[in-house]
Amino acid sequence: MRFLANVDGMRMPMRRTLLTALTTEALTGYAAKIAAIAADNVAYLAAQDKWELSFECRKWGMAFANTLLAGLDVKSEEEAARLRADLGLFFDGLITFDIDLPGTPLRKAMDARERLLARIRASVQGQLDEIVAEKEPAVPGVKPRKNMLGYIIDANRANGEEVNVEFMAGLALGVLQAGTDTSSAGFNGLMVMMGQMPEVMARVREEQRAVVAEHGPSITKASLDASK
């Protein structure tokens, strides 16, 4: 068996590096993109006669993970479908027979991994170039960044560390592997349970109406703190 997403001895450095991107301030900075992804998906579902919950939740999970964790801004549904296909091949081949021949699950997973890493490397390099071009170095976790990678780049630069694009790409792919299916499955389960408990759904809607009335429709730290 081979583990395709990680490198021996790198788990603890990865965890430490991720902390900067998971502060309250950083999570608040993601709010606009989270809202945009949710609004687009809700509008799409509202226009459909029927849809499959598990498939749509997986699409949502991948959209959030691709955009917020790996910085992969997808411009079209066709591009999103190709990305989902590569992620599926990669995830399916994480644990498989160690047979590296054309057409085997392992080879398909490794090929998909290289395509994913190429995209993520380009995203990391693009964000690094943008951040380096800024006049003043950002204090880590203070200046809003559009995804996890931006906060980690800030932290590395503040510590005087070189930003290793290859390491960052591997880190992002590892987070995608860890977070996509778990988030999708959790969201799917939540939607099923909410549909089975209309009284809970009614309380959630009532709470959110009150939050919007007090804090406005935008997702902010205050509105999140007010949501139970």
Q: What is the pLDDT of residues 98-148, one digit of tens each?
A: 888 888 989 999 999 999 999 999 999 999 999 999 877 777 667 878 888
Q: Give a yes or no: residue 191 inside a domain.
A: no
What pLDDT, on a 0 to 100 scale, did the predictor assign at position 13? 59
Q: For the whole model, what pTM was predicted?
A: 0.75
What pLDDT, on a 0 to 100 scale, did the predictor assign at position 5? 44
* More confident position, 135 or 206: 206
Q: Give a yes or no: residue 219 inside a domain.
A: no
Q: Give a yes or no: residue 39 inside a domain.
A: yes
Q: Which of 100, 66, 62, 95 is closest to 181 using CA atoms?
A: 62
What pLDDT, on a 0 to 100 scale, did the predictor assign at position 12? 61
What pLDDT, on a 0 to 100 scale, did the predictor assign at position 202? 94
What pLDDT, on a 0 to 100 scale, did the predictor assign at position 198? 93
DSSP state of 65: I
What pLDDT, on a 0 to 100 scale, did the predictor assign at position 112? 94
Q: Which of 210, 212, 213, 193 is closest to 201 using CA atoms?
A: 193
Q: Give a yes or no: residue 6 inside a domain.
A: no
Average pLDDT, the chain: 83
Q: Give a yes or no: residue 192 inside a domain.
A: no
Counting the structural domains of the chain, the total is 1
Q: Which domain holds residue 16?
A: 11-180
What pLDDT, on a 0 to 100 scale, did the predictor assign at position 4? 42
Q: Give a yes or no: residue 3 inside a domain.
A: no
Q: Give a yes or no: residue 220 inside a domain.
A: no
pLDDT of 44-77, one tens digit each?
Answer: 899 999 989 888 888 888 888 888 888 887 778 8
The C-alpha angle 179, 185, 187, rounded to 5 degrees, equals: 95
pLDDT of 10-34, one tens digit each?
Answer: 556 556 667 777 777 777 777 788 8
pLDDT band, very low/low/confident/very high, at 2 (cuts 50, 70, 90): very low
74, 87 contact by CB (below 8 A)? no
In the block, which residue shows the tokens 């499959």? Answer: 52
DSSP state of 22: G
- Section 193-199 average pLDDT: 91
Look up the CATH number of the domain holding residue 56.
1.10.630.10
Residue 3 has pLDDT above 90, yes or no: no
188, 53 contact by CB (below 8 A)? yes
Q: Give a yes or no: residue 153 inside a domain.
A: yes
Amino acid at 102: P
